[in-house]
Structure 1
Amino acid sequence: MKYLRLLFILNCFLNYLWSQDLPLDFENNQDLFTAFGNCEFYIQQDPTNNSNMVGVIQNSGSNLYEGIYLDLTPAANFDSSNIIQFDFFSDNGQNNTIQVKFEGSDSGFGDAFLEATIPGNGWSNVALDFSQSNIIGESGTENINGNFSRIAIFVGPNQLLSGTFLIDNVEGGENLSLNFNNLVWSDEFDDYSGEPDPTKWHHQIVPIINGNSWANGEEQHYTDNISNSYVSNGSLKIKAVKENYNYNGVTKSYTSARLNSKFAFKYGRVDVRAKLPSSAGTWPAIWTLGANINEIGNYFGDTYGSVGWPNCGEIDIMEQNGWNKNITYAYLHYTNANTNIYENMGTTTPITDSSETYHIYSLIWTEDVIQVLLDDNVFFERENTNIIPYDNLHYIILNIAMGGNLGGVIPSDFSQDVMEIDYVRVYEQSNLGLENSLVDEIRIYPNPSSNICYIELNDLEPIKYLSITDTKGKTLLSKVFNFHEVQLDISLLKSGLYFIRTETPTKTFIKRLIKK
């Protein structure tokens, strides 16, 4: 998918930049820009991916400045970083100038803008550094700071340019303002088909109650049959089916799948992009359990302990009941460490078109807070304290239950239904995007650069290790050195923002690099 990443790599822990505006989610007809100067703005299918919706800028060619704008609430903040990245699409076969402008400064700046020239041969990624921003009515450039309340975008500024140009959404599990940009585990379901990747997923099929039944009055057996869980066309399908199935001498009338991740983590961000089943009686869930539960048939067994439920802690990122498909639940289930009594806490949030449209279900979990998000909007939050058991490793569970406490009555005409998952991603909190306090001791030049750049330390110690990482936390290059100055060829990197990490025997340096 292509995404318009009007994305600030800001360092504001648990501080949403544009709570109403980022991510720009054209999938749900949100974040509609206002057009002016005979320009039009609307939403349509991406011509390169018809399962994705994109924003469209349509210039009439009758005005020198045709464009779109969006008021930002809260305002965009430039105090920590000034980098903007975005994707842009044109197929007009010519170079196109795009201008991004920020208005409404609260720090005395005029309107700040930068321009880039982009070829009209498909999707392109662009990085703009507003530390060298033009200011309308002034000569030279400024390193802007403070808040700006509006963004405006022009294609072909000061030109009578007609044509249709595309922008797309900020990616939902890429909230770099929260510094969860180190992707440590994922399944994109793109490069294979058939059974779920056995190196990443475990089928939990042994019933957890006496080996013959599941909790909460559920009416299914879980299987490892490919008819109940399989990968095809870039997504995982978990399918609940009406069929008689016997396990350990007990026959149930429905089958489904319950997958455990073979990855356990403590703190981080989880993003799951999914479509949910629409049928009454289905109980889909995206959740985590403490890996120290030692539940019957789960992947980790007693590897990390054997405290049982609810001492292990449970985090429900998404549950949906069987009778109202217009809400989802977020809940915590745990034992209070002070009273040794079971407690739960949670809420619901409205959702529309959950079976036909992909939504992103997310968890942010730190030492201090637990948040659950729908499409990058927080709707549940609980302070993480030492009286609740959320300081241990957890693993991810994906399943559809049938009936039971939250599934309710299963209609007699139910035959089958599916939960479809586009990706599962786990990020750890990192300092990528944070130019650390030692930033002045390292020099990267030229920056921006298109091919060769140099890394030089103002330090007596040599560089022992160097890596280049993208904004998702993926390491693209790592090398061992023993020099004070390193020359890097970055010509094969795509245009965009990267982070250079260098290590000496006693220090670590992190600094951004823009590839032109």
Structure 2
Amino acid sequence: MRKIVLLAFSLASYMLINAQTDISEDFESPTPNLAWFADDSFIDTHQANPLQNSNNNSNFVLIYQDIGGLFANIGFDYSPTFDLSGTHEFSLLIYVPSSSITGNSPNQISLKLQNGNLAAPWSTQTEIIKPIVLDQWQTITFDFNTDNFINLDPNSPPPSQRINLNRLLLQVNGEDNNDPVTAYIDDFSFTSDAGSGNGDEPIFDELVWQDEFNYSGPVDDSKWFHQTQLPQGNSWFNGEIQHYTDRIDNAEVSNGTLKIIAKAETFTDQGVTKNYTSARLNSKFAFTYGKVEIRAKLPTGVGTWPALWTLGQNIDEDGGYWNNQGFGTTSWPACGELDIMEHWGDNQDYISSAIHSPSSFGATVNTGGQNVSGASNQFHLYTMKWTEDFVRFSVDGAPHYTYNPAVKDDNTWPFDLPQYILFNVAILPNIEPSFTESSLEVDFIRIYQEESLNTDDTEVAKPVKIYPNPADSVLHVESKNHIIQYTIYNISGKLLIKNKLNQSTIDLSQIPKGIYILKLRDQNQKLLTQKFIKE
């Protein structure tokens, strides 16, 4: 679009407290706190307000001039990302004088959110368009939960499920509009109660298990088990035609990554000869609820089927690690299965995730996916967030499927017991005759859970004084050691707030009256746990 737009913002505050984000920009300062940029435009972030009145008595505005582009957006990149999962609102004041309008002007303003990390950030953008009235200051609000939004890619998930939106753009009078327009905008703000729309999602930030593959040779046998036993006597499930072996030829750690290598070769094991080999790893770690992050690059070739997934620790499957340890009491699918990533070589770059339970297995309806460019020649981050309420799958921060059945029982939700990790590359009967070998390459796996409250933490961070106790809205901390972080739990041990300690004060305004547990961490990573009362 062609236009001349005068915008006014200024970032007066930018903070993250108990998942409450506040951003505001009023441009009273000659140097804004946000790094504003213009697309085919010129901007000046500190110009006099041309219409001071009771509706807006600000002294300064941002000036934005279209210099000939069809789009003429202005915006900024925001770190970490915009959290739209809970109650949130973008708000601004806008004034457009009718004298600046020429040609075809729909008199509107749009707010766009994009993933600025993409080579084509507009490809998955989401947008809200609002009408404006000329010749007056007015407040416009944008809410991606309640307003009509437009996803440029109809396959993109709703904005409330996006966790990768880190660029904001503003545009007056639409795309492909060559007609000039002048606008002034002031008092921009964004507020968000993160997670309040999703039942106060747990914060999984304590690393409980990992493998960074920063060693060489076979996989670490304290963490991994090679599952090689044929479960059906002479074959694997799903018509797979490979042998899984425990050889370094099929599972090797080198140069900082794990390689699970599927090969075309004649191999005899357990009295059965097959023409393909690969590896299937079981983790010697099982867990209930958490966030799994796996950075991986996938094999190629029609007939290859790599997977990053979990099974119930209680699965009754001969030859599996946990079955060998005596946990095998429950058949599949009653044990539950969570498929973080599956990729079929005859559908290159399409990533699928699925849930298997007694209510849906085999040709499951509980599945979703997305296209991921370069899945086999670039590393991507595959993530699963598993809570007591839902399971969500994403790639590079972009969710594509959330499983949250209305009724959670043994048929729909066998996911309240421990699961363990599996990595494998299967070979299917449609493997191409020209196939020789291809690898699933894993850079790391990390599993996070909620930080546990250990009330046995000794007072090694002493001398520490907190006051007043009982407290009203502010709690003061005095210590000879530098306290770098505080964590507040309710009396049941649920994590409520985790933040850096600034200026030796803790803001209690976000929590109701009651008894709480405070954990302080000093610069030496020593801990103190103490109770306090909020009046």
The bucket for the TM-score relative to the shorter chain is: 0.5 to 0.7
Distance of 2:312 and 2:264 partners within structure 1: 31
- CA 1:297–1:488 in 2, change beyond 3 Å: closer, same or farther? closer
Shift of residue 276, structure 1, vs aligned partner:
0.3
Distance of 2:277 and 2:326 partners within structure 1: 29
- CA 1:70–1:454 in 2, change beyond 3 Å: closer, same or farther? closer
The correspondence for 1:202, drawn from 187, 205, 225, is: 225
Q: Does 1:314 align with 2:322?
A: no
Q: Does 1:234 align with 2:260?
A: no
Give the structure 1 partner of residue 298 of structure 2.
276
Q: Does 1:11 align with 2:41?
A: no
Sequence identity (%)? 35
Q: Does 1:444 align with 2:467?
A: no
Give the structure 2 partner of residue 502 of structure 1.
528
- CA 1:441–1:318 in 2, change beyond 3 Å: closer, same or farther? same
Give the structure 1 partner of residue 386 of structure 2.
365
The correspondence for 1:223, drawn from 230, 236, 245, is: 245
1:282-311: CA deviation from partner (whole Å, max 9, x where unpaired): 100000000100211111116334111111
Matches within 5 A, 1:149-168: none
Distance of 1:249 and 1:431 partners within structure 2: 49
The correspondence for 2:397, drawn from 376, 381, 385, is: 376
Give the structure 2 partner of residue 393 of structure 1.
418
User: What's the secondary structure of 2:355's corresponding residue?
Assistant: strand
340-349 or 201-210: bigger deviation: 340-349
Distance of 1:427 and 1:488 partners within structure 2: 19
Gap regions ≥5 residues in structure 2 = 1-13, 24-34, 44-73, 89-138, 143-185, 193-199, 454-469, 487-497, 501-517
- CA 1:229–1:17 in 2, change beyond 3 Å: closer, same or farther? farther
Distance of 1:439 and 1:275 partners within structure 2: 52
Shift of residue 272, structure 1, vs aligned partner:
0.6
Which amino acid is the alignment partner of residue 147 of structure 1?
Answer: T
User: What's the secondary structure of 2:204's corresponding residue?
Assistant: coil
Give the structure 2 partner of residue 183 of structure 1.
207
Which amino acid is the alignment partner of residue 237 of structure 2?
Answer: A
The correspondence for 2:76, drawn from 69, 81, 87, is: 69
Give the structure 2 partner of residue 415 of structure 1.
436
Shift of residue 9, structure 1, vs aligned partner:
7.0
Which amino acid is the alignment partner of residue 69 of structure 1?
Answer: F
User: What's the secondary structure of 1:312's corresponding residue?
Assistant: coil
Shift of residue 38, structure 1, vs aligned partner:
9.0
User: What's the secondary structure of 1:371's corresponding residue?
Assistant: strand
Distance of 1:290 and 1:335 partners within structure 2: 13
Shift of residue 329, structure 1, vs aligned partner:
1.1
Shift of residue 422, structure 1, vs aligned partner:
0.7
Contact 2:262 2:439 (C-alpha < 8 Å) held by counterparts: yes
Which amino acid is the alignment partner of residue 210 of structure 2?
Answer: S
Shift of residue 321, structure 1, vs aligned partner:
1.0
- CA 1:200–1:269 in 2, change beyond 3 Å: closer, same or farther? same
Which amino acid is the alignment partner of residue 331 of structure 1?
Answer: A
Which amino acid is the alignment partner of residue 476 of structure 2?
Answer: R
The correspondence for 1:333, drawn from 347, 356, 381, is: 356
1:223-279: CA deviation from partner (whole Å, max 9, x where unpaired): 110011111111111100111111111111011010011000111111111000122
Shift of residue 146, structure 1, vs aligned partner:
5.6
Shift of residue 181, structure 1, vs aligned partner:
0.6
Distance of 1:201 and 1:414 partners within structure 2: 28
- CA 1:304–1:249 in 2, change beyond 3 Å: closer, same or farther? closer
Contact 1:322 1:403 (C-alpha < 8 Å) held by counterparts: no
Distance of 1:352 and 1:443 partners within structure 2: 51
TM-score when scaled to structure 2? Answer: 0.52
Distance of 1:266 and 1:241 partners within structure 2: 34
Which amino acid is the alignment partner of residue 213 of structure 1?
Answer: S
Give the structure 1 partner of residue 125 of structure 2.
none
Shift of residue 411, structure 1, vs aligned partner:
1.0
User: What's the secondary structure of 1:239's corresponding residue?
Assistant: strand
Give the structure 1 partner of residue 307 of structure 2.
285
Shift of residue 322, structure 1, vs aligned partner:
2.3
User: What's the secondary structure of 1:323's corresponding residue?
Assistant: helix
Distance of 2:377 and 2:36 partners within structure 1: 24
Contact 2:519 2:528 (C-alpha < 8 Å) held by counterparts: no
Give the structure 1 partner of residue 4 of structure 2.
none
User: What's the secondary structure of 1:300's corresponding residue?
Assistant: helix
- CA 1:183–1:489 in 2, change beyond 3 Å: closer, same or farther? closer
Matches within 5 A, 1:118-129: none
Shift of residue 70, structure 1, vs aligned partner:
2.7
The correspondence for 1:303, drawn from 316, 326, 349, is: 326
Contact 1:77 1:147 (C-alpha < 8 Å) held by counterparts: no
Contact 2:289 2:387 (C-alpha < 8 Å) held by counterparts: yes
Distance of 1:322 and 1:441 partners within structure 2: 58
Contact 1:245 1:254 (C-alpha < 8 Å) held by counterparts: yes
Contact 1:269 1:364 (C-alpha < 8 Å) held by counterparts: yes
Cα RMSD (Å): 4.6
Give the structure 2 partner of residue 251 of structure 1.
273
Give the structure 1 partner of residue 445 of structure 2.
424
Distance of 2:402 and 2:421 partners within structure 1: 19
Which amino acid is the alignment partner of residue 300 of structure 1?
Answer: W
Matches within 5 A, 1:25-44: 34=37
- CA 1:341–1:202 in 2, change beyond 3 Å: closer, same or farther? closer
Larger proportion of strand: 1
Contact 1:77 1:146 (C-alpha < 8 Å) held by counterparts: no
- CA 1:441–1:455 in 2, change beyond 3 Å: closer, same or farther? farther
Contact 1:318 1:361 (C-alpha < 8 Å) held by counterparts: yes
